[in-house]
Amino acid sequence: QERLVESGGDSVLAGGSLRLSCAASVLTRRYWCMGWFRQAPGEEREWVAYIDDSGTTRYTASVQGRFTISADRVKASLHLKMNSLKPEDTAIYYCASRIIDNFCYTEARRYDYWGQGTQVTVAS
């Protein structure tokens, strides 16, 4: 059983920055894919970004150029640096892992383990 713990959520003004972290022992494994998802009130969970064990990254169009996903295998931590935040980025952010192989997907159902989420609120 892998455990994921997010931190770093906060309330900021539009244009501000935040760095989310996810403590993830799965990063010490040989094969993995890690993703960030978010869920706004009344909305479905939305894929934000992913990174695989080779360092390949991908982002949803609405955050491309503003968000950066990274993974520190030594510290077993996943990060999401969020710049130029907009009110529409307001959501609970979740990290998720897939360890059966290192293929990454944008569908939440493809991921095996989830954190409890951290709230990001962006005020205009």
For CA atoms 88, 94, 83, 18, the dihedral sign is positive
Question: What is the β-pairing status of strands 11-13 and 118-123?
Answer: parallel
Q: What is the pLDDT along the chain (124 residues), one digit of tens a residue?
A: 788 999 999 999 999 999 999 999 888 888 899 999 999 999 999 999 999 999 999 999 999 999 999 999 889 999 999 999 999 999 999 999 998 888 999 999 999 999 999 999 999 9
CA–CA gap between residue 120 and residue 89 (Å, rounded): 8
Q: Which two tokens stand for residue 68?
A: 């950066």
